[in-house]
Every structure is written in structure tokens, then in C-alpha cells.
Structure 1
Amino acid sequence: MPLWQLFTPKDAFTSEEKSDLAQRISDIYSGPRSKGILGFELPRFYTTVVFHEIEADSFFVGGKSHEKFVQIEVVHIARTNEGAAALMGISVEEILADYFESVSEVLKPYIKDRGYEVEFHVETAPFETWKIDGMTPPPPESAAERRWFEDNRSSAYNAEELNNDPRVATA
């Protein structure tokens, strides 16, 4: 789960622009370049993008109303920076540099090119604290997760789909 929350001025984006931006954000994690940039690819439905439109009299930066500012909060839970870096054999700093470069490319036409200022931050939550449809998501890179990726939805999985994953102990 990457959960993206964009706090934007009211009417900053049209419905079509929101849809396009959400697709591009999802591509960061599930698109053709995700494996090369991040070292993994996630099932597309893991990525959620929420736009919160804020009236000018309710959007303050430094105690002053700000009509050209976008605040973006991201929560990562499906993968950690450390895990992705280890998977690729690079440092956390390198994985973050690649990630932020990719994010900047995606956001630029919607934010910077339109004269908006932006603040962006990412938080990481423990994988163990996450459920989808009442289920613990399958382990990263397992056959079950691959099926979720291909089906683009959650579904029950069994121990056989985890047997090929050395990180999962089975009886």
C-alpha cells in the first residue's frame, strides 16, 4: 500500500487531471519502469490516491492563507526503503534518490509547471499492521502476491503459494 493524500486548493485539478495523475502515481509502483526504479512492482490496486480539496480560507502555510500550495503525504507499507535497497543491491540513499526523481517527474506538469509550491513526505508503516479485505497481504515476491498483481485484486491464498518464498516458514 502506497497511500497518497494530496491536499490541494479547491479546483486546482479537473476530474480528468486527477484521474491522469492517479494513473501516473500508480505507475510509479506498478508501471513498466517500477522494477528498474524501485526494485519491485506492486499489484496496481495497492496504490490509493486521495485528493482533498481545501478552500482558500482553510489552507494556511506559515499562518497565512496560501492558494498556490499542495501538501502531499504518502504512507508506504507494502515495501520499505531498506528492503527495496537490499533487493537492488544499492543504498537507501540511492533508492530514495531514484524514487524522488520519479515522483518529481510525475508531479512536475501538475504542480511546479502550474506555479504551485509543494511539500512532500513519505512515512513507512510496519507491514504487520496492514490488512486488505480482512486478510494479511501475501509476502513480497511470493506466488500469491504475483497472482494478486495479475488479477489486480485481493483473493484468498494458500500455503502452496508461499512455499517458494524463503522468507515464509511453512509447516
Structure 2
Amino acid sequence: MPLWQLFTPENAFTPDEKADLADKITSIYSGAKSKENFGFELPRFYTTVVFHEIKADSFFVGGVTHDKFVQIEVVHIARTNEGAAALAGITVEEILRRYFDSVSEVLQPYIAARGYELEFHVETAPFETWKIDGMTPPPPHSVAERRWFEENRSSLYTAEEVGDDVRVATA
């Protein structure tokens, strides 16, 4: 799961712009570029993007109202920086550089190009604290996870689909 929460001024984006931005954010983790940059592709349904529109009189930065500011909070669970770096055969610093370059490329036309200031941060949560439809998601790079990727949905999986990993989905 990458969970993106964008706190924006009211009407900063049209519904079509929100949909386009959400698709581009999802592609950071699930497209061919993701595999090239990070060594993995997540199932698209792992990525959730939520827009929180804040009224001008309720959006404060430094104690004063600010109508040209976007705050983005991201939670990563499906992969760690260390695991991605090891898989890609590069350093954690390089994974982070590639990630922030990808994020900047996606956000620039929606944020900086429109005169918005931006604060962005990522938190990592332990994989074992994550459930989808009551199930522990299959381990990274397993046959079960690949099936979830191809089907773009969760479903029960078997021990054979996860190899030596002891997790097996039960609903």
C-alpha cells in the first residue's frame, strides 16, 4: 500500500485533474518505469489517493491562512527502501533519489507550475501491520502477488503461491 493523502485548498483541482493525478501517482508504483527504477511493480489497487479539500479559513501554515499550499502525506507498507534497493542492486540513497525524482515529475504540473507551495513526506509502516479484505497481502515478488497484480484485485492464495513464506491468506 502506498496511501497518498493530499491536503489542498478548496477547488485546487477539478475532478478530471484529480483522476489524472491519481492515475499518475499510481503509475509511480505500478508502471514499467516503476520496474525500471525500483525493481518491482505493485498491483494498481494497492495505491490509494485521497484528496482533502480544506477551506481557506481552515488552512494555516506558520499560524496564518495560506491558500497556495499543498501538504502531502504518504504511507508506504508494501515495500521498504532497503528491500527495493537490494532488489534493484543499488543503494537506499539511489532508491530515494529515483523515488523523489518520479514524484517531482508527476507533481510539478499540478503543484509548482500552478504557484502552489508543497510539503511532502513519506512514512513507512511494517508490512505485518497491513491487511486487505481481511487478508495479509502475499509476500513481495511471490506468485500470489503477481496474480493479484494481473487481476488487479485481492483473492485467496495458497501456500504454493507464496513459496517458503509462511503467510497464507485466510478470510
TM-score band, normalised by the shorter chain? over 0.9
Residue in structure 1 matched with residue 108 of structure 2 by the alignment: 108
Taking the TM superposition and a 5 Å limit, the aligned residue runs for 1:125-144 are: 125-144=125-144
Work out the CA distance in 2 between the residues paired with 1:121 and 1:36. 23
Residue in structure 2 matched with residue 121 of structure 1 by the alignment: 121
Amino acid at match of 1:111: I
Q: 1:63 aligned to 2:63?
A: yes
Q: Secondary structure at the match of 1:3?
A: strand
Once the 2 structures are TM-superposed, how far is the Cα of residue 103 of structure 1 from its aligned partner? Answer: 0.2
Amino acid at match of 2:139: P
Residue in structure 1 matched with residue 42 of structure 2 by the alignment: 42
Q: 1:90 aligned to 2:90?
A: yes
Q: Say what the alpha-carbon RMSD is for the aligned residues.
A: 1.0
Once the 2 structures are TM-superposed, how far is the Cα of residue 38 of structure 1 from its aligned partner? Answer: 1.5
Once the 2 structures are TM-superposed, how far is the Cα of residue 15 of structure 1 from its aligned partner? Answer: 0.1
Question: TM-score w.r.t. structure 2 length?
Answer: 0.96
Amino acid at match of 2:5: Q
Moved over 2 A (4+): none
Q: Which runs of 5+ in 2 are unaligned?
A: none
Once the 2 structures are TM-superposed, how far is the Cα of residue 95 of structure 1 from its aligned partner? Answer: 0.2
Taking the TM superposition and a 5 Å limit, the aligned residue runs for 1:125-164 are: 125-163=125-163
Residue in structure 1 matched with residue 27 of structure 2 by the alignment: 27
Tell me the matched-pair count: 167
Amino acid at match of 1:60: F
Once the 2 structures are TM-superposed, how far is the Cα of residue 56 of structure 1 from its aligned partner? Answer: 0.5
Q: Which runs of 5+ in 1 are unaligned?
A: none
Amino acid at match of 1:29: Y
Asked if the contact 2:159–2:166 (Cα under 8 Å) also holds between the matched residues in 1, the reply is no
Once the 2 structures are TM-superposed, how far is the Cα of residue 169 of structure 1 from its aligned partner? Answer: 4.6
Deviation string, structure 1 residues 27-76 (Cα, Å, up to 9, x no partner): 00001211111221100000000000000100000001000000000000
Once the 2 structures are TM-superposed, how far is the Cα of residue 26 of structure 1 from its aligned partner? Answer: 0.2
Q: Secondary structure at the match of 1:41?
A: coil
Residue in structure 1 matched with residue 15 of structure 2 by the alignment: 15
